[in-house]
Structure 1
Amino acid sequence: MQFRTKIPIPQADFKIDYNSKILSLGSCFAVNMAEKFDYFKFENTCNPVGILFHPLAIEKLIDFAVSGKQFCAEDVFFHNERWHCFDVHSDCSHSNKKELIANLNAIIHSTFQKLQVASHIIITYGTSWVYRNVETNSIVANCHKLPQKQFVKEILSVETIENSMQNTLDLIQKINPKATIIFTVSPVRHLKDGFIENQQSKAHLITAIHTAINQQLSTNNYFPSYEIMMDELRDYRFYAEDMIHPSQVAIDYIWQRFSETFISDESHSIMKEIETIQKGLQHRPFNPNSESHQQFLSKLQDKMMQIQKQFPQIQF
């Protein structure tokens, strides 16, 4: 007897292995998945300008990188004793104006380089809701806790998201036509927008993504993170205490489904070896000077050397 339905996911055509170069962009769920890549020692870069929630913000970052956009003094502003930029997350903000601009330009250049060589680009959309700055009439990536009266909230239409996705794909393919691009929708519920509004937002994203991938890409380029959370894990025990974000158990399960779909069979055996090493490195002995612990460390060092001999880019 089965007590849940399992979402069928087609196997990816171009799978991730330990020679892959991964670039992850998008919502906080992109960070959750990137942490898994980091743990298993894949070559991964995540959110160079911090978390980006909506399609236009991600498109703008990629456009800046491909076009070689240079930030200048007009692109930053001062608030609460720090300098900010509407196009990036608050994690990038700085107390020094010149350093912020220099940092942003360095990040944009680095992102261009990452886009050029990436074998897989994973884009996680979080929401269709956006905020438009009243003064500039432009949609921002982050409001940086400015007064709400400075912004107008609106929802992106399915057509606008489709166009943004198309622009994003065109920009990437312009400099890296061989990259495999994987889209997903974050399972994080944006309940501050409202329960119905959150569902509307996710529906716009899912509809736009499927329209775009049916026209341009294989369905193998979509990973159903949101659908797994809503259907396979339809229980509040799979949420964190805030009842909004997936719990660690849910993240682990979604990662398992992702790895079954997008990571090569050969890499799974290496992942098991790396997990053994990672657990060994986290081990805290009762007696660090004991002979048995020294033998344990020696064996652990041998395992690390074997992995690094095969994949020199891996560092523990």
Structure 2
Amino acid sequence: MKLQTQIPLEPISGQLDYSSKILMLGSCFSQNMGAKLDYYQFQTLQNPFGILFNPLAIDNLLQKALNKYEYLEEDIFRLNGRWHCFDAHSNLSSASKEELLKNLNIALTRTNQFLREASHVFITLGTAWVYQHEKSNQFVANCHKVPQKEFGKHLLNIDEIRGSLQSIASAIEEINPDTSIVLTISPVRHLKDGFVENQRSKSHLITAVHELLGVLPLGIKGFYFPSYEIMMDELRDYRFYERDMVHPNSLAIDYIWEKFKEVLVSKDVEEVMEQVAEIQKGLAHRPFDVGSEAHQKFLKSLTQKIAYIKSKYPFMNFGNSS
């Protein structure tokens, strides 16, 4: 008896391994998959500007990184005792304008440098709804609790989204024509926009992504990973959501991660991933008696395992325990 419809999946060409360098951009779901890749010690750069929900925000980041833009005081503003930038998530906001500018420019430099070497760029689109700051005429990545009356709200149409995605692909091709782009739609529902509005938004994103994949620049490989479809069709039950009934819970994230591995991660690295997981579990272990002989033996064994795997993969970082 089948109690679930399953989405057919096929591995992509050029799957991830430990030589891959993966740039993760987009909504909080890209953070979920990025956290899994980090746990297994893949080489990643995650959302240097924080979570970005719409394609215009991602395009803006890449264009400024590519053009070596420098943020100045005129690009930021102060509200409620903190300095903010409309291009970045509030995680980068700071009580010091100097610190914010420094972190913004460091993030642009890191993005530029990492993109030049990236084997894969993983982009998760969350919404087609965008907010335009009326005074500056700027489409923002985050409103930073600026009064809503200062913004106009706009649903990007399919042509606008496709144009933004083409701009992203062209920027990537210019700096690194050998990379692969993996696009996905976030399964997180943006219900603050409205139930019908959320569905309109997701449908615009899905259509635009698939139109883009048919016209990618020569040399760029493009793939679609069906995160949204897996959540909607295979996990169509509220037990797979957090208490807010909007975000996938840890069980759903683990389930989609298994599908992600099936499609995107080479089976050749499974053994290394198991070794990394064993080390991570060892580092998380909390002993009853830190001075016991058994624990000292455990620590010695763990140190040896870390030294062995780092001899093969020097970029791995297990914190102070390494």
> TM-score, normalising length from structure 2?
0.95
> Which one of 221, 243, 252 corresponds to residue 241 of structure 1?
243
Residue 119 of structure 2 corresponds to residue 119 of structure 1? yes
- Give the number of aligned pairs: 316
Point out the more displaced range, 90-99 or 55-64: 90-99
Residue 289 of structure 1 deviates from its aligned partner by 2.4
Residue 227 of structure 1 deviates from its aligned partner by 0.5
* Partner Cα distance (1:100, 1:295) in 2: 45
* Partner Cα distance (1:295, 1:93) in 2: 45
Aligned to 2:154, the other structure's residue is in SS state strand
Q: Which residue of 1 aligns with 2:307?
A: 305
Query: Are the counterparts in 1 of residues 180 and 222 from structure 2 also a CA contact under 8 Å?
Result: no
* Partner Cα distance (1:260, 1:271) in 2: 14
Q: How does 1:119-198 map to 2 (within 5 A)?
A: 119-198=119-198
Query: Are the counterparts in 2 of residues 78 and 84 from structure 1 also a CA contact under 8 Å?
Result: yes
Residue 282 of structure 1 deviates from its aligned partner by 1.2
Residue 102 of structure 1 deviates from its aligned partner by 2.6
Gaps of 5+ in 2: none
Q: How does 1:1-316 map to 2 (within 5 A)?
A: 1-216=1-216, 221-316=223-318
Q: Give the alignment's Cα RMSD to 1 decimal.
A: 1.4
* Partner Cα distance (1:290, 1:49) in 2: 45
* Partner Cα distance (2:82, 2:216) in 1: 42
Aligned to 2:214, the other structure's residue is in SS state helix
Residue 166 of structure 1 deviates from its aligned partner by 0.3
Query: Are the counterparts in 1 of residues 180 and 221 from structure 2 also a CA contact under 8 Å?
Result: no
* Partner Cα distance (1:216, 1:61) in 2: 20
Query: Are the counterparts in 1 of residues 82 and 93 from structure 2 also a CA contact under 8 Å?
Result: yes
Aligned to 2:183, the other structure's residue is in SS state strand
Point out the more displaced range, 130-139 or 215-224: 215-224
Identity %: 51
Q: Which amino acid aligns with 2:292?
A: S
* Partner Cα distance (2:250, 2:19) in 1: 27
Residue 219 of structure 1 deviates from its aligned partner by 9.0
Residue 170 of structure 1 deviates from its aligned partner by 0.2
> TM-score, normalising length from structure 1?
0.97
* Partner Cα distance (1:10, 1:208) in 2: 22
* Partner Cα distance (1:144, 1:291) in 2: 53
Query: Are the counterparts in 2 of residues 11 and 220 from structure 1 also a CA contact under 8 Å?
Result: no
Aligned to 2:244, the other structure's residue is in SS state coil
1:160-206 deviations in Å (ceiling 9; x for gaps): 00000000000011010011111011110101111111111110000
Point out the more displaced range, 74-83 or 51-60: 74-83
